[in-house]
Amino acid sequence: MPEFPDVTIYVESLQSRIVGHPLQKIRLASPFVLRSVEPSLQEAEGKKVRGLRRIGKQVVWQLENELFLVFHLMIAGRFHWKKSGARASGKIGLAAFDFPNGTLLFTEASSKKRASLHLVKGEAGLAQFNKGGIEIFESRFEDFDRVLRSEHHTLKRALTDPRLFSAIGNAYSDEILHRARLSPLFLTHKLSEQQSQTLFQSARETLNVWVVRLRHQTGANFPEKVTAFHEEMAVHGKFGKPCPVCGSKVQRIVYAENECNYCPRCQTGGKLLADRSLSRLLKDDWPKTIDEL
């Protein structure tokens, strides 16, 4: 799922292309993507785009007449900037948005169709999309620490909870925790003040590094290859590969549709965290440390 760095680059790339231009036509290829009824989507046609913003992981277009288009990309939703009149065809096409200078395609490479589009009226209508999580770059350490300790969670769960922190997901939480040298399963209420300070700084540094890196990689082009997996990442998606800091093999915990990646030497003092399915299967044969493994 696109997170803070990815959505930031999307917003920046779209600003130079659509702000100030009229949204001439909206062509739905998959009616299921539209999750709102009032106002009707036709009311957005012909309106100029006044500005763009991000609410959590969602991209918001501010149109004339206090109308807002809200895009939630979910896991597989993506934007593609094409020549005028490009078709949103095929199984992945959701919608096409025509402007005088080009067409933006909204796609989703998944059969589950979780990506969504809403059209709402006014700031009051827009408020429903704010889950309440604080913005890392708009908060002081005191705010971060208070929110972090507000519920008894693991650090991994806390960082990815949109009610606590905005726009941090599975990928960048792995990178943040690796930079902070903290276990993903460490409990929030057991953190020392110094550990919390380190986590706060690591979150800001990690997200900033990736915004700068993606901005440089994109340049003047449109970001066409948005992914949760990057070669430069330290641990996310790097199961079995060497940690760039200590050389130990990156480990993982698999759960639901996600997995948590971590370095056992840098983050857990050499301890292997129990994988819910595999450790239950192996029982006493499950290695407890990286050395045993």
End-to-end CA distance of the chain: 31
- DSSP class of residue 203 equals H
Neighbours of 131 (CB within 10 A): 16
CB 48 within 8 A of CB 64: yes
Tell me the C-alpha to C-alpha distance, in Å, between residue 1 and each of 36, 46, 173, 214: 22, 31, 12, 15
Identify the three-state secondary structure at position 168: coil
Instruction: Count the neighbouring beta carbons within 10 Å of the beta carbon of residue 52.
Output: 18
Model pLDDT, residue 289: 57
pLDDT (tens digit, 9 = 90+) per residue, 92-119? Answer: 999 999 999 999 999 999 888 899 999 9
- The number of beta carbons lying within 10 Å of the beta carbon of residue 173 is 25
The correct CATH number of 4-129 out of 3.40.50.300, 3.40.50.1820, 3.20.190.10, 3.40.50.720 is 3.20.190.10
> Which fold, 136-285?
Helicase, Ruva Protein; domain 3 (1.10.8)
**Domain boundaries defined on the chain:** 4-129, 136-285
Integer Cα distance of 102 and 266 in angstroms? 47
pLDDT by 10s per residue, the chain, length 293: 899 999 999 999 999 999 999 999 999 999 999 999 999 999 999 999 999 999 999 999 999 999 999 999 999 999 999 999 999 878 999 999 999 999 999 999 988 889 999 999 999 999 999 999 999 999 999 999 999 999 999 999 999 999 999 999 999 999 999 999 999 999 999 999 999 999 999 999 999 999 999 999 999 999 998 999 999 999 999 999 999 999 999 999 987 678 899 999 999 999 999 865 544 433 444 445 555 55
Topology alike, domains 4-129 and 136-285? no
The pLDDT score that the predictor gives to residue 283 is 43
CB distance 45 to 151 below 8 Å: no
Residue 60 near residue 123 (C-beta atoms within 8 A): no
With the C-alpha atoms ordered 75, 224, 162, 39, is the resulting torsion angle positive or negative?
negative
Secondary structure (3-state) at 19: strand
For residue 253 the two structure tokens come to: 């915990």
Specify whether the CB–CB gap between 62 and 125 falls below 8 A. no
User: What separation in angstroms does the CA of 222 have from each of 117, 217, 219?
Assistant: 21, 10, 8
Nearest to 252 by CA among 273, 269, 234, 280: 273
